[in-house]
Amino acid sequence: MALKKKQDKANEKKTQVLIVDDHPVIRDGLVTIINHEPDLNVCGQAGDAYTALKAVAELKPDVVVTDISLKSSDGIELTKNIKARYPKLPVIILSVHDESLYAERALLAGAKAYLMKDKVSENIIKAIRMVLTGEIYVSDAILKKFLHKIAGDKAGTTKTPIESLSDREFEVFRLIGEGLKASQIAEQLHLSIKTIETYRTRLKEKLDLVNASELLKYSIRWAKSQDRE
């Protein structure tokens, strides 16, 4: 997708925000909300990770706001790549997915905020301002969960089998649940089919599943449960 630039001399003094989302309607909504603030400006937009990395290099934004689900990649992998190249650049991850499973992964990847999309309109500006001052933004529910972990509360530290998956294993699991075949997952994640099959084997072991059929059924049930959240 072509990079969209929106910047003039009047906006150069404002805090520059890059938006990454593969849905134009979502991007337009974020542009409207962010540009309404007198000190903020959306300097560019991207619909995929490759274009986003090019935009970061060219536009040098002060903060990146990205969806967790992107074409040919995902927001967590994009965040890791951004932090590897630009350690001080804050990243905010938006998602429709269950924050109890994704928020910790996002923060461990280097994101400074995790925000559910149904709360974006009321919280995105607050999240941007917080990460720009070096703070971390998450919901009260996730903050409470993290505090339980720090305090050693067993209720907060016990992980489900799915939570114990690595980021890449989890992404493969999620895509299996969406009905993608090994070849399709390999193409989307830019990995070999053999590598995907290795991940599938690991998933069966970690989730205590006997065969590929059980893995498929389990992942589909999980995906449907997320849609109901």
Asked whether the beta carbons of 169 and 199 are under 8 A apart, the reply is yes
Question: Could you say which DSSP state residue 213 is in?
Answer: H
Q: Where along the chain do its domains lie?
A: 4-147, 167-227
CATH of domain 4-147: 3.40.50.2300
Residue positions counted in the chain: 229
Pairing of strands 113-116, 91-95: parallel
Q: What is the pLDDT along the chain (229 residues), one digit of tens a residue?
A: 445 555 566 677 899 999 999 899 999 999 999 999 999 999 999 999 999 999 999 999 999 999 988 877 788 989 999 999 999 999 999 988 767 778 888 898 999 999 988 888 999 999 999 999 999 998 877 777 777 666 665 554 556 788 788 888 888 998 898 888 999 888 888 889 999 999 999 999 989 898 888 999 888 888 777 655 4
CATH no. of 167-227: 1.10.10.10
